[in-house]
Amino acid sequence: MSFYFGTQNELLYAYYGAATALSSFTTEDSLQKTYPAVVLPGGFFANAGARTSSLKIVATGIMGSTASPTFTVAVRTTTATPPAFSAGGTLLGTTAAMTGANASTPWRFEMETGLRTLGVGAASTLATTGEFRSAGIVSPFINQFQNATPTTFEVDLQYFLWISCACNASNGSNTMTMESLRVYGED
């Protein structure tokens, strides 16, 4: 880093430990069960333009499957105080359905979201891109993560960040577990 602008990446959150595994599930549920809350402070997304405010999210875990189920991973924010996860929160982005291929396989997820436009009230927008990688999904083992339509966001509010998963087939062997989560602020 040059420190030309005096800006650096800041670790906003880091937690390492196996969260409660999701298994025998079909509805979207939080992968962060038993994790401390991820707080996005109000006013964090304050800069748009050449030095846009952004977040980088990196998560890892283990997945397992039998009989080729499909998994979908999403990232959401809510203003409700945890542990109140809601699939109705603000969707930052999601993967397409990924067909499971193996039991007990590591996965890695990286996502970036940044302020596209700064507006008043709920008129700001965030753009998101990233990928989910695992040998536990059918080749090519990578699923792109994007929100094609920028997310409307109110930058002044405090939010809580959630990574969630849904599976199309309820089976005890179809599992998804988060093992680490890091969130970096890039402002």
Please, is 95 exposed, middle or buried when counting C-beta atoms within 10 Å of its C-beta (0-12, 13-18, 19+)?
Answer: buried
d(CA 31, CA 25): 12
Determine the pLDDT at residue 1.
46
How does pLDDT run across 91-131, given as a tens digit for each residue?
999 999 999 988 889 999 999 999 999 988 788 999 999 99
